[in-house]
Chains A and B, each alone.
Chain A
Amino acid sequence: MNDQPLWLTFIFAFLIMNVLLIGMAYMTYFERKMLGAMQDRMGPTRTGPKGLLQPIADGIKLLGKEDLIPRAADKWVFFFAPLIVFVTAIVGAAVIPFGGTINAFGRDLNLYITDLNVGALFVLAFSSIGVYGIILGAWASSNRYSLLGGLRAAAQVVSYEIILGLSLVGVFMLAGSLSLRDIMLEQQTNLELGPLTVKNWFILSQPLAFILFMIAAVAETNRAPFDLPEAESELVSGFHTEYSAFRFSFYFLGEYISMIVVSLFAATLFLGGPSGPGSSDHWYLGILYILIKAIVFLFFYIWLRATLPRFRYDQLMGLAWKVLLPLVILNIVVTAAIRLASDGLLF
C-alpha cells in the first residue's frame, strides 16, 4: 500500500464509476440475451449489430419520457429517494480492490480507490442505506402497491442484512481483517493440502458461508426469487409503480449497479478477487479475472430469475430467521472453534 496523490485516486474513481455505468448498461443487455437464450427466443436484435446498441437506446428513451409525479406524492421525498439508491449503490465500489499496487506510467498506482480498514463493513453499511431509497420512494408515491412494496423491502432488507453480515464473520476470522485488500491478499497465499497446492480461496474453507452469502445477496439486491418488493404479479411494480422516466431509471441503475458491486464483492471475498494463473505477474490479468468472476455471479443471478418462482412474504421471512440464521451462527461457531484449535487455544 502506498500513498498516492489525491488526484490520481479521483481519476481512478472516475474510471470505476464510468465502467460501472457502462457495465450496468451492458448488464441489461447480457440479462436480456441470456434470458432469451434460456427461454428459446432471441432477445434484443434490432438496435445496432446483434442489438448491441439496445441499452443506449433504452437509456435515451428513459431520459426522453415524461416525468410524472402523482398529485398526492410527497414531492421532495419523491425526488430525493431514487438518488439514494443510485448513489449508495455506486459508493460501495469504492473499497473493491482490483489488484495490488502496480508500477505503470512511471509511478506506483493503486488498483483500488481506497483501502478502508473496515472495507467489508463499509459495503454492507451502504447497502443498508440503499434501502432508504426504496422505503422513502414507496412512501412518497402515496400508492398502496408502493407502500406494500416498501414494507416488504424494509422487512426483507433488515432480515437479510443480518445473514449477509454474519456470513462474512467466518471470512473475517480467517483473514484476521475487515479490510478487503487484506482479505484479497490473504487469498493469494497458497494452501498445502497434502500433494495438492491450491490458492487459499475462502470458498474452499467457507463453503457454507459462501452459499449463505449468495442467498442473502440475492435477497439484499431484491432479485428473483426474492424480488418481493417489486413483485410484478402481485404489486404491479412494487415500490417504483409511480416512478417514470429518469427517476425510474435511477432505481433501475441502482438495482443493477448494486448487483455488479455485490458480485465484485463476492468475487473478492470468496473467489480470491484478482487472483488466478499469471495474475501476480500481469496486473491486467488480475482485472480480467475479477471481472470474469463477477460475470459468473451475474449469470447466476439471471439463471435464478429464469428458473425459480417467487417466494411468498412469510416464507421469505421464515427462510431468513428459521433456516439461514441458525446455519450462519453454526458457521461462525465452527469456524471460531477450528481457528482456536489450530492456534492451540481451545484444548
Chain B
Amino acid sequence: MPWEVIIFYLIAGVAILSAGGVVAARNPVHSAVLLMVCFIQIAAVFVMLGAEFLAVIQIIVYTGAILVLLLFVLMLVDPEDLPEFHTGRPVQRAIGALLGLILLLEVAAAVVTRTITGRQGSATLENIEAVGGNTEALGRQIYTEHLLAFEIVSMVLTIGILGAIVLAMPERLGVSGYRRRDTISLGHPRGTDLALPATAGAPIRATAGSKPEPAGIGRTLVMAGDPDEQPVVGGGRR
C-alpha cells in the first residue's frame, strides 16, 4: 500500500473519531477541543489533495477564529447549567439521527454519481497547472466568474456584523448600566445613589494670587502659596 494512502486513512480515522467525540463528549470544552482536532485533520486532507491554500484558510478561519470565539463562550458556561443532551427527548434524537443520515446519503449520492458518470469539471489538474497553481486558480474563479456572488456574501457578512453590534449595544448600555447602578457594595454606605459613576465635580475656580501652571499634558496645577486661598467652593454632601 502506498504511503499516501496509509497516511490518508490515518488522518481520516482520527478525523472521524474526533468528530464522533465532539458529539459524545460531556463537557462542551472537550467537544470544542475535539472539533479543533477534527478541523486540523480536514486541513491535512486538503494538503494531501494539493489544496494548501484551502487548508491554511480552514485553519485560520475555522480553527483560529470561529472556534476560538466558540470556546470564549463555552469557558464562561458552567457545564452543570447546560441542558442535558444525552438523556430524554427521544423524538429529537430520532429526528437528529434521521437528518444526519439524509445528509450523509446526499453526499454519498453526489460522489457516487460523479464516479459512475466519470464526468469531470473544469478544475482538472492540467487546467490548474496552466493557471499557475491552486491558489491562483481559486483567486481567478472567485474574482472573475463568481465576483457577484462573492460580493453578495461579503455584504451579508457585513450586515451580520452590524446586526450583532446592534443586538449587543442596548444590552451594554441599558441592562448592564442598570445593573451597575443597582448593585450595593459591602463597603459602601448608602449604595445606589453614590454607586453612580462620578460626575463632574464642584466647579474649581482659581482665586487671585494662585498661579495656574501648565503641567503634564493638557492639565494645569494650581500652585497655591496661601492657605486661605480656596479654589474650591462648597464641599460636603447635599
Contact = CB atoms under 8 A, between A and B. Distances in A.
Interface of A: 74, 77, 80, 116-118, 121-122, 124-126, 128-129, 131-132, 135-136, 138-139, 147, 150-151, 154-155, 157-158, 161, 165, 178
A77 B36 CA distance: 13
Contacts of B29: 74, 77, 136, 139
Which residue, of B30, B33, B57, has the highest number of chain A Cβ atoms within 10 A? B33
Interface string B48-65: 000011011101100111
Contact of B60 (A124, A135, A138): A124
Contact of A129 (B64, B72, B134): B64
A161 B64 contact: yes
B68 A135 contact: yes
A132 B32 CA distance: 10
SS class, residues of chain A in contact with chain B: helix
Q: Interface extent on B, as a size class?
A: 20 to 34
B52 A128 contact: no
Interface string B138-150: 0000000000000
A125 B55 CA distance: 9
A151 B135 contact: no
Nearest to A139: B75
B71 interface: yes
A154 B56 CA distance: 20
Nearest to A131: B68
A96 B134 CA distance: 21
A121 B57 contact: yes
A116 B133 CA distance: 12
B40 A129 contact: yes
A111 to B, nearest CB: 21
Contacts of A178: 53, 135
A77 B135 contact: no
A135 B75 contact: yes
A128 B59 contact: yes
22 contacts: A74-B27, A74-B29, A116-B52, A117-B52, A117-B133, A118-B56, A118-B135, A121-B57, A122-B56, A124-B56, A125-B59, A128-B59, A128-B63, A128-B65, A128-B68, A129-B36, A131-B64, A136-B29, A151-B75, A151-B76, A155-B72, A161-B64
Given A74-B29, A135-B71, A155-B72, 14 more contacts: A74-B27, A117-B134, A117-B135, A118-B52, A121-B56, A125-B59, A129-B36, A129-B63, A132-B68, A136-B29, A150-B75, A151-B76, A154-B68, A154-B69
B36 A132 contact: yes
A78 to B, nearest CB: 12
